[in-house]
Copies of this chain bind each other. A is one copy, B any other.
Amino acid sequence: MTDPATPDAAAREAKRARLYERYNNTALDSGQRIQGEFFLRLVEEYDELDQEWTEGWLTWIYDLQYNRGILDEKTRILPIVGYCVILDDQGQLPNHMRAAMRAGATPREILEIILQSAIYAGMPRMVRAMRTYRTFMRDLGLLELTEPVFRGDAREP
């Protein structure tokens, strides 16, 4: 838990307030609920580049698409974890794994989505996703991993 009394926390609160003055508040609420600070960082980056585009993007995705209520959140987000594997998006994969867990998915269910995606996307992309999963779940303290004994380097003698 970050301490709201630190200077960093104050800077975050000030920035958050400025974003709320400027952009679609339903979208900002939804984005934070689903994706936390990962989302706010993205808004911050687009905000410096183009405010008109940022407002349109927030409204289209975080107000409209992510709030339609037709699928429950877990069922809506788990496919996105699989899309990250198929599209080889190792940067967004932790974000969507975390969002899936916030919506009630277990690490075991997320792993299942990754493993089964190999049928459709091929093994190489799944191998990369499996490694992102291992590191991410270990960092969150949700997976205990032993130190690998094989280097796995094709340069071995």
Question: Interface residues, chain A, CB within 8 Å of chain B?
Answer: 1-2, 8, 11-12, 15, 35-38, 40-42, 44-46, 48-50, 52-53, 56-57, 59-61, 64-65, 68, 70-71, 74-76, 78-84, 86-89, 91-92, 94-95, 97-98, 108-109, 111-113, 115-125, 127-128, 130-131, 133-134, 136, 139-140, 145-146, 148-157
Contact = CB atoms under 8 A, between A and B. Distances in A.
A140 B153 CA distance: 12
A45 B135 CA distance: 11
Given A149-B15, A154-B94, A155-B94, A45 B130 contact: yes
16 contacts: A1-B157, A12-B149, A37-B150, A38-B154, A41-B151, A41-B152, A44-B148, A45-B148, A60-B60, A76-B112, A79-B81, A86-B86, A87-B121, A87-B125, A92-B127, A121-B122
Contacts of A65: 56, 115-116, 119
